Each structure stands twice: as structure tokens, then as C-alpha cells.
């Protein structure tokens, strides 16, 4: 392999070994732990982590989720401030 493909191949190899060593340090002995399953796990994490951050951001920016904020909204509407 030359150029970019060699770099990608080396990256996959390091990730596989790093993940395998992590699980071995936790005491897991997994016989089906190969590069295909590791790549699937990494793809899942690479999709799930940004999704979790996005959902958390939507949750934190949603103002009317708590009862206190709903009561405050009613008071502001009654006073004509909103």
C-alpha cells in the first residue's frame, strides 16, 4: 500500500490493538474480537457521541420543560412582558 491507504491501514491497526488492550485490561476475553467488530464499534461511537451532544444541547436549550419555567412564562404573559 502506498500513500493515504497505508496511513488508513495503520490507523485501523492501532485502533484495533488499542481497543483490544482496553478490554483485556478490564478482564474481558472476547474470541470474536476482530477488526471487523472493532470497526463496527468505532463507527457506532463516532455516530452516537455527536448525536448525544446534539440531543443534550436541544434538551438544555428547551426552555419550557420544567414547571418553574412554565409558571414564569405564565407570569410574563400576564404582565405583558412577553
Cα 51 from Cα 43, distance rounded (Å): 13
8-24, pLDDT tens digit by residue? 444 455 566 677 778 77
28-75, pLDDT tens digit by residue? 766 666 788 878 888 998 999 999 999 998 887 776 677 888 888 889
pTM of the model: 0.43
Amino acid at each position: 500500500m502506498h500513500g493515504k491507504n497505508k496511513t488508513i491501514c495503520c490507523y485501523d491497526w492501532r485502533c484495533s490493538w488499542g481497543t483490544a488492550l482496553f478490554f483485556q485490561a478490564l478482564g474481558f476475553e472476547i474470541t470474536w474480537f476482530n477488526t471487523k467488530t472493532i470497526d463496527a464499534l468505532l463507527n457506532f461511537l463516532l455516530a452516537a457521541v455527536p448525536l448525544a451532544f446534539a440531543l443534550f444541547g436541544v434538551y438544555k436549550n428547551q426552555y419550557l420543560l420544567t414547571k418553574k419555567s412554565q409558571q414564569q412564562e405564565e407570569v410574563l404573559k400576564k404582565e405583558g412582558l412577553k
